[in-house]
Structure 1
């Protein structure tokens, strides 16, 4: 739906469209453990065997130790799991290589952004952490990588991967409350060891509006840029913070919030990788990412969606705009002011002039 909507506006003609290479086992091992990669293969083999013998495919058919690798529940076994993982990872690695080769200065991979997967565990629908693999590729060329996560869920897998290093600063604006996945991303989580200060977490309460979301971004990002001086930016634009998302279900954003944050990033004139992420209202996710693609390519789009293969999914109004709901914003001015003040204080730990990289 995303790519079809982009094409219906002829935005693909304003970009160079490149077919990515699948990742190989060596690529996956730059972050994921050998045991986890091997287990994914064994889980895939069991799925194929069950399919060939006409057995029902359910989690009971997984290898016995699958639970310790996070398979089952929110990361169920799926057919062709190995190929799926290699395609997802390969897209973001290929995008990173376009930046390191200096062939392009802005790359988009809406199929990327699977930020929850851990080194040896699937988590939160994410079987592979393409974000970490992409950043690892970028580090071959760029000295300091700024990772920005706009998904309503905390980017825990990426933060965990780089929490001890001062060469990657992770910045996540998300919701945090008891029982809300993944349960991490407190403002006090700022990194460890040499990486202390290089994790920035901005947890917002329910109902965050465009104004709240953009305000905290505008009030904190300049200090991040000044203190960290990134060489390249990776921005994950998970769309599950949009109003009416059936799974994110807590924020009240429209595409305007994402566009304003992305515009700030683009104005830095740094090599930039733009990734997708969550988004469970498929029509609104496609609307949002199409609007962001238009922003990157400098195009103004007609609000009336052109007829195309998925046109009926955009009813009843068949328009590109996303409307905010009526959920109250529980982020008071005092809360936001205190949040911003603490974040700015934490950023005093970040000084590339004195930190040994």
Structure 2
């Protein structure tokens, strides 16, 4: 199988806010946001920051959240941000919104609204970086909270950052593909887009035996205009790397062929790894990361989000490894010395080993899952088109200095571009137009194709771009530019307005490198990596419950 290094590099933006580690669900609660801080430290120690731009995302506002969530629900979250119920009237709403009661798993704790702002702001900022052309791949490991509903907290998720991220993408892209490899079904995202053909949701998850959330069966295929645009692959306990690859690759090959998305959002929930506290799949980092590697090969903008994952040591290593995959970089298996080395104790390797558990996914059942996905996709009409309308205002303005990463989601155009105006070069679309013969293409596989044959076909074609079979440096790819461009007057006006605004992002400068990244401290505009990555006083023994 081809290695990561055989494929071309893509611009990567990474979003991280150190305050995510301040959130604490409780001693016995399995959700530990501190896992993201540990993952970040591993990313830093492996030197991956040198190959990407790192931003400190802005915090999502109430107005941002109201684009999907109910107003009374968002106001309730703000009222309980201090960690307690302020009045009897608010207390009566806890049961209605499934927060802070014994019957649910979403507690009230100090900073719950702050956590929602950070995770959601990171995902919206990731979408903005893709739209603006600042990145080909955008990463927000604090996002991926796929269970939250319009007016209900669910599955440790309070605000659905994924839905808000996709809504931002839909302003500029006709079709968004959402893929979920969390061990739990992505019910909140599927429900939000259940009746539209502009978003296709594909979820590979554990199903049956009353496993949470209990949705995502074969018959959940969408409704109305969205019928057949929800693809669910319900799997059984014990799924290992080989079987996951055998089912993921053929399903996604057909999805990409039929749906032809403009942009991809991949939720990388790490509770599908072996040894997770709540999941019962048996994947290693290589098996989980294979999904990221496969989707990366398409010449399509890609957003990577976090999600579930409740064995902190495994989750942090997984997201560090998948950051390396996004960067087309191989990293050694030996864990570098870092601030949390004492916590890892006897663990010295990056990769984990599968456990000795029974895999209940028989070849016959896997083939049944593939055939059902193929049957659903066969019912689709030709690639859907969006109704033409003016482009909505940008959430993020282009930077006046292209060499410095700078995001300001709070600023917008004074007016949306008209139909005969177009996007500037830094807003150019990534996905090339279909070739003249694209409508005649057929899959090399029938529904009855042997799974091994399909995987072998994919393996034999790893050395080229799957979708276009073109070198990204070729004249063909370079000639695929967007057709629209914003007028000079508008650009001058927007850039002038930017100079009058204070940027929400701070920059970090490596003393030994010209690379820039966003700061973790709002006190200074420029700090050195030696400052940000210094070993702070953190007592592992006193804070052991953060990790367990």
Gaps of 5+ in 2: 1-37, 388-548
TM-score by length of 1: 0.94
| Residues 1:218 and 2:255 aligned together | no
Q: 1:22 aligns with which of 59, 63, 72?
A: 59
Preserved CA contact (<8 Å) 1:46 1:63: no
What is the total number of aligned residue pairs between the two structures? 347
Which deviates more, 306-315 or 218-227?
A: 306-315
* Equivalent residue number for residue 63 of structure 1: 91
Q: Secondary structure at the match of 2:204?
A: strand
* Residue 349 to residue 46, structure 1, CA distance change in 2 (3 Å): same
- 1:45-60 paired onto structure 2 within 5 Å: 47=84
- Equivalent residue runs for 1:167-246 within 5 Å: 167-246=198-277
The 1:353/1:84 distance shift into structure 2, 3 A limit, reads: closer
In 1, Cα distance between the equivalents of 2:150 and 2:382?
27
Return the offset for 1:256. Answer: 1.3
**Cα separation, 1, equivalents of 2:382 and 2:137:** 25
Counterparts of 2:378 and 2:53, CA distance in 1: 40
Contact 1:46 1:61 in 2 (8 A): no
Give secondary structure in 1 for the equivalent of 2:215.
Answer: coil
Residue 121 (1) aligns with residue 158 (2): no
Give the alignment of 1:68-107 within 5 angstroms: 68-72=96-100, 73-107=104-138
Q: Which runs of 4+ in 1 moved over 4 A?
A: 354-357
Instruction: Give 1:45 deviation, angstroms.
Output: 5.4
Structure-2 separation of matches of 1:303 and 1:201: 34
| Alignment partner, residue 339 of structure 1 | 369
8 Å CA contact retained: 2:174, 2:198: yes
CA contact (8 A) 2:180 2:266 kept: yes
1:236 shift after superposition: 0.5
Indicate yes or no: 2:181 matched with 1:150.
yes
How far residue 43 of structure 1 moved from its aligned partner, in angstroms, is 2.5
Q: Would you say the 8 A contact 1:109–1:275 is kept in 2?
A: yes
Note closer, same or farther for the CA distance 1:356–1:9 as it changes in structure 2 (3 Å cut).
closer
Offset of residue 196 of structure 1: 0.4
Cα separation, 2, equivalents of 1:45 and 1:295: 39
Superposition deviation, residue 318 in structure 1: 1.2
Shift of 1:16: 0.2
Q: CA deviation at 1:301?
A: 1.2
Residue from 270, 288, 294 that aligns with 1:258: 288
User: Which structure features the higher share of helix residues?
Assistant: 1
SS at match of 1:17: strand
Corresponding residue number in structure 1 for 2:76: 39
Bigger-Rg structure (1/2): 2
- Give the equivalent residue in structure 2 for 1:274: 304
RMSD, aligned CA: 1.7
- 1:228, 1:351 within 8 Å by CA — same for their partners in 2? no
8 A contact 2:333–2:351 mirrored in 1: yes
Structure 1: tracts of 5 or more residues without a match: 51-59
Q: Does 1:351 align with 2:388?
A: no
Deviations 1:250-278 (A, max 9, x none): 10001112221111111111010000111
Residue 353 of structure 1: how far off its partner (Å): 3.8
Q: Does 1:310 align with 2:347?
A: no
Separation (CA, whole Å) in 2 of partners of 1:45 and 1:311: 33
